[in-house]
């Protein structure tokens, strides 16, 4: 009887082990910049053809791949995809100067708040945000805000429609007179902590604010100016993408999300 019990335990252990191993193989963390290789590619809420379509991407579009599962890649939600948050879960910090009732930017008031694909509790959840995250508001739909997709929201694309992007190195002398490809990735995502301070408004300047880290490293910030104005001299965590040459004296970062730390 004892031998039979031990045999059952061993069999259960083997089954659990192989199930975990299979799950690890099926879903793996990856991180690379991908490029859409066909026209009108469906981006879906989940790794299945029956899940809702979040948006459609054109050939050549760059995407951030973060995970692989069977025949699918998990990517960060593109700016073309809709993204919604409930009004009562945020506090407005930035209003329109012409229409003060119109909110342009808001701060999340609770942790692990759902970001949904549509303005409904039954709509697919595509991500979550935590307390003090600042979101850009695009429009209002009843008790919901449509927002710019945040860094922590995701969707899926079939692997056959994404190629791994391999940048072509070009000599400096070949760059003279060349037109910059605005669709190519400049770098990976950055996460920075520091204090926001105004940089001033100058014609054609992409940045109106700067971030000064604890090591006194200065980064210029490209984002919603009014949202940044509301965060002047606050300690923040910025997630974004470097969009200037890496050897720049003051790197320029395009903001994806900002979280207030004090």
Digit-coded pLDDT (tens) for 46-59: 999 999 999 999 99
**Are 30-81+153-165 and 84-148 in the same CATH fold?**
yes
Using a 10 angstrom Cβ sphere, with 0-12 exposed, 13-18 middle and 19 or more buried, the burial of residue 207 is: buried
Q: Structure pTM? A: 0.71
Mean pLDDT, range 152-163, rounded to an integer:
96
Name the average pLDDT for the chain.
82
Are β-strands 218-222 and 154-158 bridged in parallel, bridged antiparallel, or unpaired?
Answer: unpaired
CA distance 190 to 108: 21
Digit-coded pLDDT (tens) for 184-196: 444 457 889 999 9
The terminus-to-terminus CA distance of the chain in angstroms comes to 63
CA distance 68 to 48: 13
Domain ranges of the chain: 30-81+153-165, 84-148, 186-260
CATH architecture group of domain 30-81+153-165: Roll (2.30)
User: In Å, how far are 113, 184, 201, 229 from 173, measured between CA atoms?
Assistant: 49, 20, 33, 40
The correct CATH number of 186-260 out of 2.40.10.10, 3.90.1300.10, 3.30.300.20, 2.40.50.500 is: 2.40.50.500
Looking at residue 241, its pLDDT comes to 86
CATH architecture group of domain 84-148: Roll (2.30)
CA distance 212 to 43: 37
Residue 249 banded pLDDT, cuts 50, 70, 90: confident
């Amino acid at each position: 009887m004892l031998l039979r019990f031990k045999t059952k335990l061993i069999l259960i252990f083997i089954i659990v082990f192989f199930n975990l191993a299979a799950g690890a193989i099926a879903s793996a963390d990856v991180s690379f910049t991908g490029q859409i290789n066909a026209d009108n590619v469906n981006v879906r809420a989940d790794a299945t053809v029956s899940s809702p379509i979040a948006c459609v991407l054109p050939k050549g579009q760059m995407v951030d791949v973060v995970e692989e599962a069977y025949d699918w890649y998990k990517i960060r939600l593109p700016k073309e995809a809709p993204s919604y948050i409930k009004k009562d879960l945020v506090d407005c910090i930035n209003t329109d100067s012409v229409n003060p009732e119109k909110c342009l930017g808001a701060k999340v008031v609770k942790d692990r708040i759902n970001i949904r694909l549509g303005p409904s509790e039954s709509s697919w959840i595509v991500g979550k945000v935590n307390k003090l995250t600042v979101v850009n508001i695009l429009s209002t739909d009843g008790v919901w805000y449509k927002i710019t997709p945040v860094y922590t929201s995701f969707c899926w694309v079939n692997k056959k429609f994404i190629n791994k992007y391999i940048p072509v190195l070009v000599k400096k002398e070949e760059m003279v007179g060349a037109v910059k490809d605005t669709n190519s990735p400049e770098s990976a995502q950055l996460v920075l902590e520091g204090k926001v301070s105004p940089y001033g408004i100058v014609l054609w300047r992409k940045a109106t604010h700067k971030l000064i880290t604890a090591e006194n490293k200065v980064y210029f910030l490209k984002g919603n100016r009014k949202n940044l104005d509301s965060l002047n001299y606050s300690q923040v965590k910025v997630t974004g993408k470097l969009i200037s040459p890496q050897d720049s004296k003051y790197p320029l970062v395009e903001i994806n999300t900002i979280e207030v730390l004090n």
